[in-house]
Structure formats: C-alpha cells, structure tokens
Amino acid sequence: MKHENSSSKLIVFLFSALLILSVSTNVYGEMHQDPNYEKWSKIALSALKKEYKDAEFTDYKYVGRQEVSEEEAKDVFRVRVNQNGESFTAQVDIVLNPKKNELITVKIVKMQE
C-alpha cells in the first residue's frame, strides 16, 4: 500500500510541476513572442533618446505587435517622457520585416492626453 501511495504522490507532483511550468511559459511567452523583442525594444528606446535629449523615461510598456502583411509587422511601445518640467506619453512604432528580421521605419508620436 505504501508503494501505491508514494507513486500517486509522485504522479500528482509531476503533473502539478508540469502544469505550473506550462502556465508560466505561456504567460511570459505572450508578451515576448518575437525572439527579437529585445532588439526592437532597444531600437525604440534609442530613437526616444535621440528625439528627446536629456529626458527621463518611465513606465516603459510593450503594447504589442500588429501584423500588417506577410512582410511587414509593427511593434508598438509606449513610454512616459519627462522633459523640461513637461510630462507626456510617447508612442514608438517600429515597422519591421519579420521574415528578414529587418527594420523598415521608426515613428515617434507624442500622444494627446
């Protein structure tokens, strides 16, 4: 009887561990489906630093990816910009070719609040 009890506990433990691992991978994976997310994120932040020199950036958020066509996608980032006593949200649109992993354009828009 002891052998059956320990086998059942082991099966429950392994199933639980697999379930937890699966859920955590799915939650994290949804935010970063593109393995090049970090590359596009750095490009967005670099463009912001060039556009808004000497500004502080907070509340950095990856909004998501929009598939435009087979050869074009747009990653959208939003960042809070604090510059010269003014605070506003800027949106950075990174248009890229997902098949070639190439940058097409970068567009920064100051959001209306």
CA 86 to chain centre: 26
Tell me the per-residue pLDDT of 45-72, one tens digit each, with 9 for 90 and over. 999 999 999 999 999 999 999 999 999 9
Tell me the per-residue pLDDT of 2-35, one tens digit each, with 9 for 90 and over. 555 555 554 544 444 444 444 434 444 444 456 6
The first and second tokens of residue 51, run together, are 């556009």
Superfamily for 35-110?
A: Protein of unknown function DUF3889 (3.10.450.390)
The neighbouring-strand residues paired with 67 are 73
Determine the Cα–Cα distance for residues 107 and 109; give it in Å rounded to an integer: 7
The domain spans of the chain are 1-31, 35-110
